[in-house]
Amino acid sequence: MMTPFYFFLILAIALIAIELMVFQLSIFWLLFIGLGALITSLVLTSMEMSWLPSTVVFVGSTVIISLLLYRPLKRWQDKPSKLPGHDAIGQSVQVLETVSATGGKVRWSGVDWAAKLVDADQTPIEPGTSATIVEMSGIELKVK
């Protein structure tokens, strides 16, 4: 039978890994829940608890982590950034959903990205064609 310590440790590793490798810090919630599970497993190393108190520690630590980290991480994510010399600039992307001045979706480096046209007057780019990355703004690509 699995103990609360191992359960929360495995949960922490899985959720943090998924957030970092799959979502690339784009949604944060799996990170917050994973950190809550990690804190719970650390608490369980110093004191033995049954499932109910462990779950209370898990929920409490997840809520506290979320309240402390959401705004700073959201500000960081929303902060426009120019990345001169970034390896994405100049790369070709596959258009998955029509890209216009208001938005769209492209695939670059095996990941689907939100994208917008760099020039609002440009004709929308249709799915199945390719576009070129001109700029990155947060987690959104600007293409032409």
HEC readout, 25-84: CCCCHHHHHHHHHHHHHHHHHHCCCCHHHHHHHHHHHHHHHHHHHHHHHHHHHHCCCCCC
Rounded to whole angstroms, the Cα distance separating 136 from 144 reads 12
Least trusted range by pLDDT, from 13-17, 51-55, 86-90: 86-90
Residue 136 has a pLDDT of: 83
Domain with CATH 2.40.50.140 in the chain: 92-143
Q: Given 3.40.50.1100, 3.40.50.150, 2.40.50.140, 3.90.1150.10, which CATH number is that of 92-143?
A: 2.40.50.140
Rounded to whole angstroms, the Cα distance separating 112 from 73 reads 21
pLDDT tens digits, residue range 54-86?
A: 999 999 999 999 999 999 988 887 776 555 546
Residue 25 has a pLDDT of: 80
**Which residues share a beta bridge with 114?**
105, 140
Mapped onto helix, strand or coil, the DSSP state of residue 140 is strand
Other C-beta atoms lying within 10 Å of the C-beta of residue 82: 9
Rounded to whole angstroms, the Cα distance separating 125 from 123 reads 6
